[in-house]
Structure 1
Amino acid sequence: MPDTDARPPALRPTRQRRAITDALADAADFQSAQEIHDSLRRTGDKVGLATVYRTLQAMAESGDVDVRHNPAGEATYRRCSDSHHHHLVCRSCGRTVEITGSAVEKWAHAVADEHGFTQVSHTVELVGLCAQCAQQSG
């Protein structure tokens, strides 16, 4: 999630947006648009795949969801906390954990100051193996 205080105006609460928001709330991890669309179909919500893609993009731009790209390059989405955070991602199963801490922010601002940059934002994603995948890989 970018480090910024300015958020675009809230999105209109349409039936489709509420359905997608509910599907994201029920998901434990990042989901692709196709996975969200499949989940909506299973629950009987009639939302077209193109609408899911457009809505997720708008929600990502407004800061209502986080977006990350899986190893195949596909965008995946998750409702995360409203506070600035980063992600720790398992490279095997994709499990994602929100992490917070001021060390990254201090480092980013120090580097920006050193080079005369202002209004700096950043995104950090740490990738490794979760305990379960590490145990399975032996």
Structure 2
Amino acid sequence: MSLRSASAVLDRLDLRSTSARRAVITAVLSRSQPVTARELVARLARRGIGRATVFRTLDLLVRAGVLSRIHGIEGGERCFHYTRCAPEHHHHLVCRACGKVEEIDARRLDARLDSVARGHGFRALSHAVEIQGLCQDCH
């Protein structure tokens, strides 16, 4: 992702376009796989961007719907992985051993979850599903 694209994301969200925010957006959205906050902090510290700025920007982008926050594992410890929000609704498979995250299409599950919510007189606005286990390489 280019800096111009990162600036466009911030403009679309009506957020101030700072060099730190552009760097965080570019670092996450240019990756094909989710990235941990720890990885981002280490990478962006070399550019003088502080830990608190990285975390604040990640939280801001999750709340704005630009990024997804996924529970994961890194080095045996629980952590969050961040990735771009796919244009279509999806869910995640998360390997507890290696931390690999895979997106899955679960439309039938979505329909069932909506039905369960309606059955309880509840109007669901959104939901997130993460299936944690072991990937093919780890089991």
Return the TM-score normalized by structure 2: 0.77
Alignment pair present for 1:99 and 2:104:
yes
Mapping 1:80-95, distance limit 5 Å: 80-95=85-100
Please give the secondary structure, in 2, of the residue aligned with 1:98: strand
Structure 1, residues 58-104: CA drift from partner, whole Å, max 9, x if none? 01111111112235443331224122111011111011111113111
- In the alignment, the residues of structure 1 paired with residue 78 and residue 136 of structure 2 have an alpha-carbon distance, to the nearest angstrom, of 24
Alignment pair present for 1:60 and 2:62:
yes
- In the alignment, the residues of structure 2 paired with residue 127 and residue 34 of structure 1 have an alpha-carbon distance, to the nearest angstrom, of 21
**5+ residue gaps, structure 2:** 1-11
- Counterpart residue identity of residue 71, structure 2: H
Please give the secondary structure, in 1, of the residue aligned with 2:111: helix
Please identify which structure carries the higher strand content: 2
The verdict on how the C-alpha distance between 1:119 and 1:127 changes in structure 2, with shifts beyond 3 A counting, is closer
Alignment length (residue pairs): 124
- How well do the aligned residues superpose, as a CA RMSD in angstroms? 1.9
Question: Pick from 33, 42, 45: which aligns with 1:29?
Answer: 33
Give the drift of 1:51: 0.4
Q: Do the aligned partners of 2:68 and 2:83 also contact (CA within 8 Å) in 1?
A: yes
> Which range moves more in the overlay, 70-79 or 103-112?
70-79
Mapping 1:1-138, distance limit 5 Å: 10=13, 11-41=15-45, 44-71=46-73, 72-134=77-139
The verdict on how the C-alpha distance between 1:111 and 1:129 changes in structure 2, with shifts beyond 3 A counting, is same
Structure 1, residues 107-132: CA drift from partner, whole Å, max 9, x if none? 01110111111134211011222121
Please give the secondary structure, in 2, of the residue aligned with 1:70: strand
Percentage identity across paired residues of the two chains: 38
> Which range moves more in the overlay, 30-39 or 82-91?
30-39
- In the alignment, the residues of structure 2 paired with residue 108 and residue 116 of structure 1 have an alpha-carbon distance, to the nearest angstrom, of 13
- In the alignment, the residues of structure 2 paired with residue 105 and residue 113 of structure 1 have an alpha-carbon distance, to the nearest angstrom, of 12
Give the drift of 1:19: 0.6
Return the TM-score normalized by structure 1: 0.78
**5+ residue gaps, structure 1:** 1-8
